[in-house]
Structure 1
Amino acid sequence: MGGPMVNVKQGWLRGTIVKSVVGGSYISFKGIPFAAPPLGDLRFSDPQPPRPWTGVRDASKEGPKCIQIDYITSNMVGDEDCLYLNVATTSLKGSRPVMVWIHGGAFIMGDGGDDMFGPDYLMKQDILVVSIQYRLGVFGFLKLDHEVVPGNMGLKDQVAALKWVRENIAQFGGDPNNVTLFGESAGSSSVHYQLVSPISKGLFHKAIMQSGTMLFPWIGTPLSVETARRYVAVLGNEITDPHEIVEYLRTVPAAKLIEAQEQFQTDEDRFKFLTPFRPSVDDKSKEPFMPKPPEELAVEGFDVPVIIGYNSHEGILFLLTPHDWMFEELDKNFERTVPADLIMENPSKVSQVADELRKFYFKDKPITTDAVSDLVRYYGDTYFLNGTQKVVEYQQKKRTPTYFYKFSYDSPKSLTKLVYKSSMKGTSHEDEVPYLFHPLRFADLLKIEPNSIEQTVSDRFVKMWTDFAKTGNPTPQIDDLITVKWDPVTRTTKNYLEIGSELSAGVNPDEEVELLFKRISDIVKSNLSQGEAND
């Protein structure tokens, strides 16, 4: 049994040498426990330190995914015992920049493994990549508004993984003082949560946010303890005492908890893409991860260099199978689709806000199946663009650099077109991921042909992302590949980089949409008492 060996605080690990799909090889350690298995009495508890082992632990295979419904097969996969991470590095000597990846999946699905996130492309740039798991759905985000289960266990799992990195990554040839946290979708929202949480301070030094902030309406909408009570009722038990709820839920098999979670979404939730369990204010915790509402924390901002951006047609992913009933419902009850974050300050303004949105996106015409591209824009802008633009604006006041991008390369070979069989024009949510990572599950389907535009787009992403991880600047030098200098935003100018088939620099992307949301904000604030409006 040969293979590279590393001694971490819990014991010895044996990894493997992996042949890269782009030539050469790298060193891989998989399935490393960064916390104790969250089983039995530890179900719904904050993560506990990993347990030591004797002898040499085999680190050649990934740990299980966290238990979930697979989005392609609709089968239940994974395990409750899932708090493991993977490390990929080019050498165990030296001290190279570390990039820690947090996967997306709306906090209910996904995992950090090679299925979607093989590190082969990133390894070309001599960095170290860590990909982590965290508890999903009810296991990671049950909230009882009580210290027995205050919520955000899944986000605290991410903190535990970052602490493991700080303590152990030097053994793998990584620099614990140069860690970049990056993620996409709910993974990117997680990065934003980590940036503002008091318990993550100092655990990483730079951040990259791809299509995700904690201000998105499908993530940030407040959770109530009522959700947990309704959930328990779905399981056939009418109890309200937090201690009794936890004791009862710890006796239910994990698979049954996931099945109940699936049955639990209301039509309204589905319409607004709300999952029943998601991040929330956990001020009843002994050590709160999110002591205040996300809106307040976002305004305060963070002092870490960041890349943040979105894709041109994020909404495509939500409308892969547009149903006739959706259009009928939208046409008749458009107000129901107004995202909660737009009217949170003054819900009485919902009909005025709905009118404004309907006029802008649907020109007051009936909403029929012909309007699918308008609907893509409506959902993309309200669910992704607005929250991203707000974070950029808050960060314009900070001294640390904020690099803003818009990804718009619409490839016929994109993830959404080939895997999800979409025929819609535009760059969907998630479409940038296979340019950064080699997705083993779709290796043949998403193969990047040498000398293609896709290859250039991939090389650019990898170079800018890893240069940022190394230096804090995504374009330290201009050459044949990186043809444009990417300037950060300033207090007065919203600079951005458009990443299409070419790179181009500009200011104020999608300005007309930004002005729409400013108008909506003015509508919502009108008639509020002066004190409330200034809050």
Structure 2
Amino acid sequence: MRILHATVAAAVLLTGCAAGLRPEPVTAGTGPDPAVVRTDTGAVRGTVTDRHRLFQGIPYATAGRWETPVPARNRTGVKDATKPGAMCPQVGSVYAPISSTDEDCLFLNVTTPRAPGRDRPVMVWIHGDGAVGAGHFSDARKLASRGVVVVTINYRLGVFSGFGYPGLKDSGTYGLQDQQEALRWVRRNAAAFGGDPSNVTAFGVSFGALAIGGQLTSPGAKGLFRRVAMQSGETMMDMPANSIVPGAPAAPTFAWRSIEEAQAVGRAYAERLGCDDLACLRALPVRKILAIPQIMNVFQAYAYGNGVLPELPSKAIREGRFHRVPVLAGATRDEHRIFVGMNYDVQGRPVTAEQYGTLIKEAFGDDAGRVAREYPLASYASPSQAWAAVMTDRLWARGTHEQNTLLARHAPVYGYEFADRKAPMFLPLEADFDWGAFHAGDLPYLFPEKEAPLSPAQRRLSDQMVGYWTNFARTGSPNGSGLPAWPRLSGGTQSLAPDAVRPIDYAAGHRLSFWK
């Protein structure tokens, strides 16, 4: 859901069926009632329309607080699957005014075409943010209309996901573990919904894309997906000072944390919660945990140095230790504008010319003069946009280009840049700010948003993007009939803009030779 984690830096294979039961899967549409599908744990009844079938709130796993998830239990009867399951605990934010205190939250949703089918490609969506959101907020009907099965999932967030503490097995990785358990559910049950369990694409945005970067290096994810698509992910990113929010210190990684650091942070917050052992922490009411300011954001980072993530994912990718699968990955043209707009202008404090110089000096030290000359204020409409341009290139473009280049040494990679600078703002942000092609601005082009009406040209781009993404899920290449040719990374990065879809030199466009 919606996607962003603008405040992260403010702190930052197959398994057997449950209980050994393995019912024969029902091929989609062949039963007497198309709204009923039998999963490995019991039948579910969803909603059937003239074009789609939608099944919501299907439990895929259960887990105690800071415990490894296990497959959901078998059920009798037919479970109602016409409404979403509970969201995982969260407190919401300025851009997502939602909340939940329900820890029984490991649910997923399945959207399929209405017509009977089998062996359809399966796309598993991992939503972004890491502190707020749920799978059901992403409307997958447009993607499913192209003949794919789309699964959107809930997973544990914030302190219930990334919390580290001595004695907790694989602590700091519970959200990643949930995602793997959901993928195992998909492998067991895809055929019942008309999908091909051997053709699964994991795709996600922002924190969800970062999670996929982790899954690429996680031993437990081996064989759970055949391809991946990562939109505006931060797998390879570091953080100069002030990069996401004013006053935030520099950090060597964006959202990875060593297990030692995770446990140290966990102990510090345990003290704030009045606990000195796990029994006390597990007995606390959810509301008391969520009442600690910023606690969800502090634990957005995933921990490495454990069984789930044995090593820092960015290091593993640099050294070629990752699952070799085709990749579709990219970023937006103006990634960082939304972070500047939210953290400065929304608070009534746009970046001033004087502050621009201070921010550059604090971020780049002795190189500040070179950066200021490369990005002079006179070249931008405002100091805010100048600072956003610096960070878009230094953080996002550099990290995305390194990620794609490294992955392309061992696997097919199709890079893209979403470049629609008139993309509609679908978040409840009212600042007078030119958002440009902002972070996650491409989401309404894949998942329609009623808050984001598209022009005719933007709808054409949306149709093209849905075609690219579903072609990639089907064959491992985004190319297909009626679409502009999309080369592999060595032939350029595909720019996605209304009536202007074409390969570009991404490194030159973002001055990456300067940032070496």
**Normalised TM-score (structure 2):** 0.82
- Quickly say closer, same or farther: Cα 1:333–1:4, change in 2 above 3 A: closer
- Quickly say closer, same or farther: Cα 1:447–1:263, change in 2 above 3 A: closer
Alignment of 1:21-420 (within 5 A): 24-36=50-62, 38=63, 42-71=64-93, 72=95, 74=97, 76-77=99-100, 79-90=102-113, 91=115, 93-105=117-129, 107-113=130-136, 115=137, 117-144=138-165, 146-148=167-169, 150-217=171-238, 218-220=254-256, 222=258, 223-237=261-275, 239=276, 244=277, 246-260=278-292, 262-264=293-295, 275-283=298-306, 288-299=307-318, 300=320, 301-321=322-342, 322=344, 323=347, 324=349, 331-332=357-358, 334=360, 336=362, 338=363, 351-354=365-368, 356-361=370-375, 370-398=382-410, 400-411=411-422, 413-415=424-426
The aligned counterpart of 1:343 is none
Show structure 2 runs of 5+ residues with no match. Answer: 1-31, 239-253
Give the fraction of aligned pairs with identical amino acids, expressed as a percent: 29
In the alignment, is residue 432 of structure 1 matched against residue 442 of structure 2? yes
Tell me by how many angstroms 1:224 deviates.
3.5
- Quickly say closer, same or farther: Cα 1:282–1:247, change in 2 above 3 A: farther
- Quickly say closer, same or farther: Cα 1:221–1:356, change in 2 above 3 A: farther
In the alignment, is residue 497 of structure 1 matched against residue 501 of structure 2? no
Q: How many residues align?
A: 457
Can you list the C-alpha shifts for 1:309-347, whole angstroms capped at 9, x where unaligned?
0100111221224153976776546565x4xxxxxxxxx
- Quickly say closer, same or farther: Cα 1:202–1:255, change in 2 above 3 A: same
Can you list the C-alpha shifts for 1:265-295, whole angstroms capped at 9, x where unaligned?
9xxxxxxxx7344112142xxxx11101122
- Quickly say closer, same or farther: Cα 1:167–1:104, change in 2 above 3 A: same
Asked whether the equivalents of residues 127 and 207 of structure 2 are also in contact (C-alpha less than 8 Å), the reply is yes
- Quickly say closer, same or farther: Cα 1:170–1:2, change in 2 above 3 A: closer
The aligned counterpart of 1:447 is 453
Q: What secondary structure sits across from 2:70 in the alignment?
A: coil
Q: What secondary structure sits across from 1:158 in the alignment?
A: helix
The aligned counterpart of 1:15 is 46
Show structure 1 runs of 5+ residues with no match. Answer: 19-23, 266-273, 339-349, 519-535
The amino acid that maps onto 1:185 is S
The amino acid that maps onto 2:485 is K
- Quickly say closer, same or farther: Cα 1:184–1:434, change in 2 above 3 A: same
CA distance in 1, matches of 2:70, 2:351: 44
Asked whether the equivalents of residues 109 and 136 of structure 1 are also in contact (C-alpha less than 8 Å), the reply is yes
- Quickly say closer, same or farther: Cα 1:412–1:176, change in 2 above 3 A: closer
Task: Choose between structure 1 and 2 for higher RCO, CA contacts under 8 A separated by at least 6 residues.
Answer: 2
The amino acid that maps onto 2:123 is M
Q: What secondary structure sits across from 1:390 in the alignment?
A: helix
CA distance in 2, matches of 1:78, 1:453: 42
**Normalised TM-score (structure 1):** 0.79
Asked whether the equivalents of residues 415 and 430 of structure 1 are also in contact (C-alpha less than 8 Å), the reply is no
- Quickly say closer, same or farther: Cα 1:384–1:120, change in 2 above 3 A: same
Can you list the C-alpha shifts for 1:435-460, whole angstroms capped at 9, x where unaligned?
10123xxx2x32345xx111101101
- Quickly say closer, same or farther: Cα 1:326–1:82, change in 2 above 3 A: farther
Asked whether the equivalents of residues 406 and 509 of structure 1 are also in contact (C-alpha less than 8 Å), the reply is no
Q: What secondary structure sits across from 1:250 in the alignment?
A: helix
CA distance in 1, matches of 2:43, 2:90: 30
- Quickly say closer, same or farther: Cα 1:497–1:352, change in 2 above 3 A: same
Tell me by how many angstroms 1:129 deviates.
0.4
Q: What secondary structure sits across from 1:31 in the alignment?
A: strand
Asked whether the equivalents of residues 92 and 171 of structure 1 are also in contact (C-alpha less than 8 Å), the reply is no
Q: What secondary structure sits across from 2:394 in the alignment?
A: helix
- Quickly say closer, same or farther: Cα 1:46–1:359, change in 2 above 3 A: farther
The aligned counterpart of 2:246 is none
The amino acid that maps onto 1:383 is L
Q: By percentage of residues, which structure has more helix?
A: 1
CA distance in 2, matches of 1:355, 1:250: 51
Tell me by how many angstroms 1:93 deviates.
3.7
CA distance in 1, matches of 2:487, 2:395: 26
- Quickly say closer, same or farther: Cα 1:508–1:430, change in 2 above 3 A: closer
CA distance in 2, matches of 1:150, 1:412: 39
CA distance in 2, matches of 1:455, 1:75: 29
Q: What secondary structure sits across from 2:298 in the alignment?
A: coil
Q: What secondary structure sits across from 1:77 in the alignment?
A: coil
Tell me by how many angstroms 1:66 deviates.
1.1
Asked whether the equivalents of residues 305 and 312 of structure 2 are also in contact (C-alpha less than 8 Å), the reply is no
Aligned-pair Cα RMSD in Å: 2.7
- Quickly say closer, same or farther: Cα 1:145–1:311, change in 2 above 3 A: farther
CA distance in 1, matches of 2:432, 2:462: 21
